[in-house]
Chain A
Amino acid sequence: MEKKDNKLVNILRNQSQLIILILLVIVFSVTTPSFRTTGNFLNLLKQVTVIGVISCGMTLVVISGCLDLSVGSVFSLLNLVSISLQINNNFLGVIMPLVIAVFIGFFNGFIVTKFKVNSIIVTLGSLSLFSGLAQLVTNGAIISGVTGTWYGFIGREKLLGIPVHVYVFFIVAIISQVLLSNTAFGRKIKYVGTNDSAAEIAGIKSGRVRTIAFIISSLFVAIAALIYSSRMTTASPVAGAGYEFDAITAVVIGGTSLAGGKGSIFKTIIGVLLLALIVNILTLYNVMYSFQNIVKGILIIIAIIIDIRVRRRIEA
């Protein structure tokens, strides 16, 4: 009997976010008729794919002990690259963003690890760098691509009644979770995030591990940008503005520690859904858009406080 109690307490403690998510869904299903429609749930799922894919990559970077603030402007840049190439050649429009993403991820990772500098400051710099570059590509203008080709498959088609990009999100999430919990690389990310000098001594090349995490994160940003481009067939130099905070908020309120070393993709997905749910509710109740930022800011701080509290209790 006592054992059972402990188990329940453990679940409550480890999966508190999941429980909050379920409770919120139940509460709002009861109180808000417009919330419990299938259309709204599908809408919710459609809205989270882009930020969800970005958050999966961000989780890997955060677990490795870094942070990537440039994902938003990289998203805008790749969105523009994809659409401007897609006008002439669908194939290039898909391949080039992925290729460029590898270089961008390498650039961020290389500078952070080679010179051992704070990743927040570096990626704050690359945020400006890529945002300027994105605006330069089209001189700040919004461009439209060509609709009606296979390019729109990911964003606009449905399989078994569910949009294709929702499947893409699930595939990305499963791949990242497997990568994190079932491969040597996943273990290395956690070691490096927990204590990089100890990991070095154990023979792990921490710089290389972090750089790969940055590259994977950028690749996921490229996939997210492709989903968006495919769905909208337009590109704007500010398409991804603020996505870095959404992704970080999702990762943090999911329960992945900003200190690195711990976390999971599952937690991040809960975080993404939690965030989307709160935004969805605010929208349904016609709360001003700006209050979303207020709520997000408060959520980030609360999540950091909880994270540090829990870690101190474990250490003590």
Chain B
Amino acid sequence: MKLEKIRNFINEQKILLIILVLGVFLAFDSDYFLTFTNIVNIFHTISYEGMIVIGMALLIIVGEIDLSVGSVMAFGAALSIIFQPYGILTAIIAGIAGGITIGLINGLITTKLKLPSIAVTLGTMVFVSGVVFAITKEHTLKGANENFVLITQTELFRIPMPVIVFIIMIIIFEIILQRTIIGRHIFAVGGNAIASKFFGIKVDSVRIFCFMITGFLAGLAGVMLAGKLNVASGRIGEDSAVFVITAVLLGGISMEGGEGSISKAFQGILLLGVINNAMVILKISSFIQEMIRGLLLILIVVIDAISVEKKKYL
């Protein structure tokens, strides 16, 4: 009985346990790893794409996917750089509004024309990336407003702003997912869209909502990133889709849809962040890092597929 409990606990919290084991190993290897600066650093690094992970988790739970998130992040960054002369607030709103718009377009095309989202967002990914290159005139644009960088450089209790925004977003969307009607609808649609329709759930609206939230978060991440780098370029976010999808799946959310939570997705991105941090501390070349991230994604989908297969026979 007790053994069963322990086994269940390990199964439920395996990601956190892996992070812990990895952390202990790294703490022995490097004195720097467990310092406050480094831990904040890990969170700071993951906070940008981490916001997108929240949206991607919602989308995967509802049974859709968005490959355009990297381009949308670059789009948000570019808009917030371009709109800086009109004030910081305008710049922030422009970046976020741009993200929401692309999310709305993705959602409308996918649901109203009944197309597979993976193909649609492949198209919008290329399209939006082209738009970003066009509005930045294929250059790296610098921000005009010196105060704009304050949105990321401001710290609260030595914790940078993006981390705080990231944590707030996690809490908000976990509550939306677990405690509200729209959250229940997301699970229902992801579990069985046809049955949901019979129960009177507006399936299309739920899906469009998830696409818009993903767009919103990708735009927000772009604005934050523009604040950090103070530049915009079409090169931003090229690997983001791989990174974000890996994080969601790594957290244990299945591609099958219908189940998962934001805290799971958070564990996934945290594990990726720790792995990345470890690779930097161990001075592994960035090329090998890219390879490892690719391998990790393949490994994770394979494990996901095997466990889904297993469940079918239980």
Contacts and interface: CB of A to CB of B under 8 A. Distances in A.
Contacts of B304: 117
A300 B288 CA distance: 32
Nearest to A287: B134
Nearest to B306: A115
Contacts of B126: 245, 249, 293, 296-297, 300
Given A131-B290, A135-B287, A297 B138 contact: no
A117 B287 contact: no
Contact of A136 (B123, B129, B285): B285
B238 to A, nearest CB: 9
A116 B298 contact: no
A125 B294 contact: yes
Interface centre among B137, B246, B294 (most CB of A within 10 A): B294
A258 interface: yes
A174 to B, nearest CB: 29
B110 to A, nearest CB: 10
A136 B241 contact: no
A132 B279 CA distance: 14
Given A117-B304, A121-B297, A291-B130, 16 more contacts: A124-B297, A125-B246, A127-B294, A128-B290, A132-B290, A136-B285, A290-B130, A290-B132, A293-B129, A294-B127, A296-B126, A296-B127, A297-B124, A297-B125, A297-B129, A300-B127
8 closest Cβ contacts across the A-B interface? A297-B127, A293-B130, A128-B294, A290-B133, A129-B294, A132-B290, A132-B291, A125-B297
Nearest to A133: B291
B141 interface: no
Interface centre among A121, A133, A304 (most CB of B within 10 A): A121
Nearest to B129: A293
B295 A129 contact: yes
A131 B301 CA distance: 19
Nearest to A138: B287
B109 interface: yes
A118 interface: yes
B298 A122 contact: yes
Contact of B294 (A120, A126, A296): A126
B305 A117 contact: yes
B79 to A, nearest CB: 15
A121 B301 contact: yes
A111 interface: yes
Contacts of A128: 239, 242, 290-291, 293-294, 297
Given A115-B302, A305-B113, A293 B294 contact: no
For the residues of A in contact with B, the DSSP-based class is helix
Nearest to A308: B115
Interface in B278-292: 285, 287-292
Contacts of B242: 124-125, 127-128
Interface in A100-116: 111, 115-116
B118 A120 contact: yes
Contacts of A288: 133-134, 137-138
Contacts of B67: 120, 124
A117 B301 contact: yes
B128 interface: yes
A129 B122 contact: no
Nearest to B285: A136
B144 interface: no
B223 to A, nearest CB: 21
Contacts of A295: 130
Interface string B227-256: 000000010000101100110000000010
Contacts of A118: 118, 255, 301
Nearest to B234: A290
B132 to A, nearest CB: 8
A301 interface: yes
A248 B298 contact: no
Interface centre among B134, B288, B289, B291 (most CB of A within 10 A): B291
25 contacts: A115-B301, A117-B301, A117-B302, A118-B301, A121-B255, A121-B301, A122-B297, A125-B296, A126-B294, A128-B294, A129-B290, A132-B292, A136-B285, A245-B126, A289-B138, A290-B130, A290-B131, A290-B134, A293-B127, A297-B123, A297-B126, A301-B127, A304-B115, A304-B123, A305-B113
A34 B260 CA distance: 58
A298 interface: yes
B119 interface: yes
B287 A132 contact: yes
A291 B234 CA distance: 12
Interface string A261-299: 000000000000000000000000000111111111110
Given A129-B295, A294-B134, A122 B301 contact: yes
A128 to B, nearest CB: 3
B291 A292 contact: no
B114 interface: yes
B87 to A, nearest CB: 27
B164 interface: no
Contacts of B124: 297, 301
B15 interface: no
A129 B296 CA distance: 9
Given A127-B242, A132-B291, A304-B120, A293 B305 contact: no
A231 B53 CA distance: 43
